[in-house]
């Protein structure tokens, strides 16, 4: 386990990785040497298609959204509320240097930048890096599968309810236009759905009070 007295900015990332496997001191040293701290202000892009897609990011604090553009319309694909690793779409053959995906800070964000060159080096020289990478891939694949299922629910109300029930997204912290985009509905539809759910919640609370 990394030393909790270590004031290194990379400590939260090391602790996150140690959920999946113990880190050797040599691997810790590589992360401390090659990672960097990045501050991105609210509404600014972390990565866009004009940038070289050369790193992943561990979100220490703040909210990040991923999105793509279809003409002038942007389509939200995911949200991250911190304590997780995010990155723009990258083909595994490593040929493409850019991504069609944007990463945007929805509030001031503190990030740890993890270069792909470091990740590749770690895979080649540290057995635990491969174990951690495999487990993280499984976690992210599962999350992507959940998003895929959500997108295929045909009813707008049920999509909203499914997302609310999952507890994966803090609905009160996301601007409604981005939430509507993520759920594949117009802003007006989302407003009606939220109003209907709030009305149901109020009635449930009243019923509980009456029973008491």
User: How does pLDDT run along the chain (212 residues), one tens digit per residue?
Assistant: 454 444 489 999 999 999 999 999 999 999 999 999 999 999 999 999 999 899 999 999 999 999 999 999 999 999 999 999 999 988 777 666 788 999 999 999 999 999 999 999 999 999 999 999 999 999 999 999 999 999 999 999 999 999 999 998 999 999 999 999 999 999 999 999 998 887 775 445 434 445 55
The whole-angstrom separation of Cα 10 and Cα 57 is 11
A 10 A CB-CB count for 72 gives: 5
Give the pLDDT score at 112: 98
Q: Which CATH number fits domain 1-152: 3.40.190.80, 2.60.120.10, 3.40.50.2000, 2.60.40.1170?
A: 2.60.120.10
Give the pLDDT score at 94: 63
Give the pLDDT score at 1: 46
3-state secondary structure the chain: CCCCCCCCCCHHHHHHHCCCCCCCHHHHHHHHHHCEEEEECCCCEEECCCCCCCEEEEEEECCEEEEEEECCEEEEEEEECCCEEECCCCCCCCCCCCCCCEEEECCCEEEEEEEHHHHHHHHHHCHHHHHHHHHHHHHHHHHHHHHHHHHCCCCHHHHHHHHHHHCCCCCCCCCHHHHHHHHCCCHHHHHHHHHHHHHHHHHHHHHHHHHC
Q: Of 152, 134, 137, 156, which Cα lies nearest the Cα of 87? A: 137
The whole-angstrom separation of Cα 100 and Cα 200 is 40
Q: Of 121, 72, 85, which Cα lies nearest the Cα of 12? A: 85
Longest dimension (CA), the chain: 65
The whole-angstrom separation of Cα 160 and Cα 31 is 39
Give the pLDDT score at 211: 59
Q: What order do you get walking across the sheet with 102-105 strand by strand?
A: 45-47, 102-105, 64-70, 73-80
């Amino acid at each position: 386990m990394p030393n909790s007295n270590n004031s290194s900015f990379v400590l939260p990332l090391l602790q996150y990785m140690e959920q999946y496997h113990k880190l050797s001191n040599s691997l810790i040293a590589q992360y401390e040497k090659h990672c960097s701290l990045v501050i991105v202000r609210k509404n600014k892009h972390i990565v866009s298609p004009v940038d070289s897609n050369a790193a992943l990011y561990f979100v220490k604090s703040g909210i990040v959204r991923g999105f793509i553009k279809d003409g002038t319309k942007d389509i939200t694909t995911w949200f991250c509320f911190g304590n997780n690793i995010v990155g723009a779409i990258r083909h595994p053959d490593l040929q493409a240097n850019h991504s069609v995906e944007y990463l945007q800070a929805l509030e001031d964000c503190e990030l740890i930048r993890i270069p792909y060159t470091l990740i590749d080096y770690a895979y080649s020289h540290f057995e635990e890096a491969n174990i951690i990478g495999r487990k993280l891939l499984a976690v992210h694949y599962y999350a992507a599968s959940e998003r895929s299922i959500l997108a295929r629910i045909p009813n707008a109300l049920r999509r909203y309810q499914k997302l609310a029930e999952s507890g994966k997204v803090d609905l009160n912290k996301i601007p409604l236009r981005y939430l509507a985009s993520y759920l594949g509905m117009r802003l007006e539809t989302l407003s009606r759905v939220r109003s209907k759910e709030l009305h149901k919640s109020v009635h449930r609370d009243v019923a509980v009070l009456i029973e008491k």
